[in-house]
Amino acid sequence: MSSGLAQPRIRIPRSARAGEAIEIRTLMEHPMESGIRGANHAAVPRNMLSRMVVRMNGETIFAADLRNGTAANPYHVFFVRLQRSAEFEFVWTDEAGRSVRATARVAVS
């Protein structure tokens, strides 16, 4: 997907046991420029990611709406319990509607 957005970095195990909780860490390089400088709320052009969506086997399992208080290079850690092998899809979208997508597979034995 050509978007001008950076490639996200995702840390997720390649395999897990059935019923095990796995930790997923995501880091998306982005300035998260709110445009705010002191009392001036439009000091520089705004450039913000607005949403991250995580799907497991096509179903949304976690999503984040990101607002001004989210730090640059949005970083998220969350925990998923797997019963069977799963395909994960991660999508970040900015306020201009551009998006970037990444995928990962976790094999459950």
Partner 1 sequence: MTTASRRALLLALVALPAAARADAALEAAMREAVGPAEPEEGGMALRLPALAENGAQVPLTVTVDSPMTAEQHVVSIHLFATRNPTPGVASFHLSPALARAEVQTRIRLAEDQQVVALAVLSDGRVLRATAETRVAVGGCLG
Does 56 sit near partner 1 (CB under 8 A)? yes
- CA–CA–CA angle 60, 57, 48 (5° rounding): 40
Alpha-carbon torsion angle 70, 73, 77, 83, nearest 10: 120
Considering the complex, what minimum distance in angstroms separates the CB of residue 83 from partner 1?
A: 9
**Which residues are within 8 A (CB) of 69 and not within 5 positions of it... i.e. 6 or more apart?**
none
User: 88 has which bridge partners?
Assistant: 56, 104
Nearer to partner 1, 4 or 38 (CB): 38
Among 11, 13, 15, 41, binds partner 1 (CB under 8 A): 41
Nearer to partner 1, 7 or 83 (CB): 83
- Please report, as residue ranges, which positions from 62 to 101 form the binding site for partner 1 (by CB under 8 A): 62-81
Residues that bind partner 1 in the complex, under the rule CB under 8 A: 21-22, 34, 36-39, 41, 56, 59-81
